[in-house]
Amino acid sequence: MKKLPLCLIAILGFIGSLQAGEPVAYKQVAPPSPELYGTGFYGAIDMGANLFQNRGGTTTFTDQFDRFTVKIHPDNDVGFFGGIKLGYIFGTGILRPTVEGDFFYNGFNGDADFKLREVFDPCGGVPGCLAPLFLTTRDGHVSTWINSGAFMGNFILRLALGRFQPYAGAGVGAYYAESADIEIKTPFHTFSADGENHADLAWQILAGSDYYWNPKLSTFIEYRYLHYASSQIDTREDRDLAQHLIGAGLRIHF
């Protein structure tokens, strides 16, 4: 058997050492972190409809001489609201506490149906005058627009499910409201009432949900039960105003 030349043996041995060398080590790359939707500071705008306001039942007014009686039954008309929110969402977990300032305009019709019973004395109380009294009744409708502004601090708990984030909470604050003048005309008299304004306590319960289009931008829908208190009005009647609002908005994180 012939022997291979020494140089050929050396070359074959070098090639074999390359093929039998240690395996090449590859560096492991960590997977990218999931995107965090809805964290930190945000601002929002929203608007919607005041679907119902419970303005109470029929109220009766009469003068001290029982010359006229007015029964007023308020209507519960649809109104409008719109405003801004500023808040901060804590943490990055599934449950995220949130604090929020909520400032919005809330306007609605103060319409009412009325029934007027009036006794008219042509003599005007002159002694010896025997002219007959006139009794008139009239059904009618009065309308005025009520403007209000609410300034609320909300405490909310959010459930972060990726892009979809439902939430619920409650808020407390104050409101300011004012109404326009109203006037009722009868065959014999004209009754008018000046517009009034009032500031008092307010509170609300709210629930809604966001959908995040990217980590910084979402659209949301929201329901509120809003309650205007009447603690500063000197009256024996319950003049609190309960309202149901539903709206939608846009939220942007800084």
Which range of residues forms the domain containing residue 177? 34-54+80-110+144-253
For the chain, the domain total comes to: 1
212 within some domain: yes
- What confidence category does residue 1 fall into, taking pLDDT thresholds of 50, 70 and 90? very low
102 within some domain: yes
Structure token pair of residue 195: 């517009």
14 within some domain: no
244 within some domain: yes
198 within some domain: yes
136 within some domain: no
Residues 6+ apart with CB under 8 A from 224: 204, 205, 206, 243, 244, 245, 246, 247
What CA–CA distance (Å, rounded) separates 8 from 138?
Answer: 126
Higher pLDDT, 145 or 81: 81
CATH number assigned to the domain comprising residue 212: 2.40.160.20
What CA–CA distance (Å, rounded) separates 126 from 239?
Answer: 41
pLDDT tens for 155-196 read 999 999 999 999 999 999 999 998 776 666 655 556 666 667
Q: What integer best gives the mean pLDDT of the chain?
A: 79
127 within some domain: no
Residue of 158, 153, 241, 135 whose CA lies nearest to 207: 158
